[in-house]
């Protein structure tokens, strides 16, 4: 009896082991099925995300909820409850900051219309009181022997500039019927209208601005014949044309003098600035061997060149006349500073001029000559 019971005890776990294996197989089958379902869901999500990121048929990209809420809610219908879809609120001004897509579009068109903005140094500020320190002399140094004492060197000299600024505004209008029409591309129209108006005003100010409630243009800075190191900080150098009413008989010599008056370090990245009327005259200048000083760009998109440096047409530059400075040459990125607040504010006004809805856009912009050694002028003078 004892032996039989012992044998039965040894063989009892065998059927149980088969049950464990069967349950493990069933669990593995369920896990495999779950993994397959997960992979299928992932595939569907991936296809949906790719479809959402795919460009539209017209070449654009889907508008963000922020932009759609701002355009449809506030600009079209004046819903102030759309505050959550705007990037920044300006309660003191009663307006709302433009969403990122529209603000970027405005800046992009400004660069194409206003060439000085593309040439100069642009900084984004949070307030209108922007200031910058400029080192006017560098740190002094000296030579000593190995065991000699190290006397104190001269203190570096600094100058402070505070670009004069003003509030630039545009006030385009659209009828309510146009806004109610879903086919009317409000975003493109508004950005285009503001860009054209801003570019016209700021392009003139960066060149001829007085500094009173607007930027100070580089042609408004004082200018003298004194060379670098002999002028006061902030004063530009000009080269006389040699004729009181226009260019002299050897204009190529004066243009070369203007180039060489600029420091070698600033000539890397320098450009010419003149309007189309002056450029028409300059394009006809020839060297002693009969070759033209002006050379067209050899590749599409490359600027034309004068004496090896690119030429930028700035229509706000003056024409050739007695006492005028129709030609500027320099490194404008080092020589001129544009300080602007990063956000463009828009106030929707449907009451002042019914049935039109005005969009009052404002932006604070300042500008001033930063390094007076980096820009040279050609003045029509004997």
pLDDT of residue 355: 85
Residue 228 sits in the same domain as residue 281: yes
Mean pLDDT taken over the chain: 79
pLDDT of residue 186: 74
**Domain region containing 71:** 65-135+157-215+339-369
Residue 266 sits in the same domain as residue 358: no
Question: How far is residue 261's CA from residue 270's CA, in Å, rounded to a whole number?
Answer: 12
Q: What is the mean pLDDT of residues 348-373?
A: 89
CATH of residue 199's domain is 3.30.2400.10
Residue matched to tokens 């080269």: 239
Angstrom CA distances, 374 to 116, 160, 204, stand at: 14, 17, 20
pLDDT of residue 92: 37
User: With 60 as the cut, is the pLDDT of residue 218 above it?
Assistant: yes
Residue matched to tokens 């030609």: 327
The verdict on residue 270 lying in a domain is: yes
Q: How confident is the model over 30-69, as pLDDT tens digits?
A: 777 777 776 776 666 666 555 444 444 344 555 666 666 6
Q: How confident is the model over 298-309, as pLDDT tens digits?
A: 777 778 899 999
The verdict on residue 352 lying in a domain is: yes
Residue 255 sits in the same domain as residue 354: no
pLDDT of residue 15: 56
pLDDT of residue 4: 46
pLDDT band at 223 (very low <50, low <70, confident <90, very high): very high
Q: Which of 47-51, 172-176, 357-361 has the highest mean pLDDT?
A: 357-361
pLDDT of residue 13: 56
Q: Which of 184-188, 285-289, 294-298, 345-349 has the lowest mean pLDDT?
A: 184-188
Residue 101 sits in the same domain as residue 202: yes
The verdict on residue 163 lying in a domain is: yes
Cβ-proximal residues to 366 (8 Å cutoff; 6+ apart), any chain: 128, 130, 163, 164, 165, 166, 215, 338, 339, 340
CB 345 within 8 Å of CB 334? no
Q: What is the mean pLDDT of residues 189-205?
A: 84
DSSP characters over 150-181? -PPPPPPPEEEE---EEEEEE--EEEHHHHH-
pLDDT of residue 344: 79
Q: Note if the pTM is more than 0.95.
A: no
pLDDT of residue 176: 79
Residue 343 sits in the same domain as residue 309: no
Residue 262 sits in the same domain as residue 199: no
Residue 75 sits in the same domain as residue 190: yes
For the chain, what is the domain count?
Answer: 2
CATH of residue 316's domain is 3.30.2320
The verdict on residue 345 lying in a domain is: yes
Residue 95 sits in the same domain as residue 211: yes
Q: Which of 49-63, 161-175, 245-259 has the highest mean pLDDT?
A: 245-259
Question: How far is residue 119's CA from residue 83's CA, in Å, rounded to a whole number?
Answer: 36
CB 289 within 8 Å of CB 255? no
The verdict on residue 247 lying in a domain is: yes
Question: How far is residue 127's CA from residue 5's CA, in Å, rounded to a whole number?
Answer: 96
Residue 254 sits in the same domain as residue 189: no
Residue 194 sits in the same domain as residue 291: no
The verdict on residue 7 lying in a domain is: no
pLDDT band at 3 (very low <50, low <70, confident <90, very high): very low
pLDDT band at 73 (very low <50, low <70, confident <90, very high): low
CB 306 within 8 Å of CB 89? no
Residue 198 sits in the same domain as residue 260: no
pLDDT of residue 379: 96
The verdict on residue 353 lying in a domain is: yes
Classify residue 85 by burial, with Cβ atoms within 10 Å: 0-12, 13-18, 19+.
Answer: buried
The verdict on residue 34 lying in a domain is: no
Cβ-proximal residues to 341 (8 Å cutoff; 6+ apart), any chain: 124, 125, 126, 127, 128, 363, 364, 365
Question: How far is residue 355's CA from residue 316's CA, in Å, rounded to a whole number?
Answer: 36
Residue 182 sits in the same domain as residue 325: no
Q: How confident is the model over 257-293, as pLDDT tens digits?
A: 999 999 999 999 999 999 999 999 999 998 888 888 8
User: With 80 as the cut, is the pLDDT of residue 354 above it?
Assistant: yes
């Amino acid at each position: 009896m004892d032996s039989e019971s012992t044998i039965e005890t040894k063989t009892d776990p065998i059927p149980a082991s088969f049950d464990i294996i069967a349950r493990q197989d069933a669990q593995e089958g369920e896990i495999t099925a779950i993994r397959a379902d997960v992979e299928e869901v992932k595939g569907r999500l991936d296809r949906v995300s790719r479809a959402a990121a795919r460009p539209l048929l017209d070449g654009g990209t889907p508008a963000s909820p922020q932009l759609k809420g701002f355009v449809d809610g506030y600009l079209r219908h004046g819903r102030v409850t759309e505050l959550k879809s705007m990037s920044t609120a300006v309660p003191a001004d009663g307006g709302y900051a433009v969403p990122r897509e529209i603000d970027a579009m405005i800046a992009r068109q400004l660069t194409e219309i206003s060439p000085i903005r593309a040439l100069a140094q642009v900084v984004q500020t949070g307030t209108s009181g922007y200031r910058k320190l400029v080192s006017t002399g560098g740190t002094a140094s000296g030579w000593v022997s190995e065991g000699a004492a190290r006397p104190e060197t001269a203190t570096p000299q600094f100058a402070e500039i505070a670009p004069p600024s003003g509030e630039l505004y545009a006030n385009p209008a659209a009828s309510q019927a146009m806004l109610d029409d879903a086919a009317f591309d409000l975003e493109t129209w508004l950005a285009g209208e503001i860009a054209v108006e801003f570019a016209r005003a700021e392009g003139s100010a960066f060149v001829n601005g007085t500094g009173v409630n607007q930027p100070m243009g580089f042609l408004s800075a004082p200018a003298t014949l004194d060379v670098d190191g002999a002028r006061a900080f902030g004063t530009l150098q000009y080269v006389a044309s040699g004729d009181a009413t226009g260019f002299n008989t050897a204009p190529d010599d004066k243009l070369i003098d203007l180039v060489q008056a600029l420091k070698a370090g600033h000539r890397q990245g320098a450009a010419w600035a003149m309007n189309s009327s002056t450029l028409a005259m300059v394009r006809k200048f020839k060297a002693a061997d009969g070759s033209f000083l002006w050379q067209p760009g050899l590749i599409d998109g490359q600027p034309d060149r004068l004496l090896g440096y690119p030429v930028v047409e700035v229509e706000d530059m003056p024409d050739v006349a007695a006492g005028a400075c129709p030609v500027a040459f320099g490194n404008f990125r080092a020589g001129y500073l544009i300080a602007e607040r990063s956000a463009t504010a828009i106030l929707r006004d449907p009451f002042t001029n019914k049935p039109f809805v005005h969009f009052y856009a404002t932006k604070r912009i300042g500008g001033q000559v930063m390094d007076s050694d980096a820009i040279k002028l050609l003045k029509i003078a004997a």
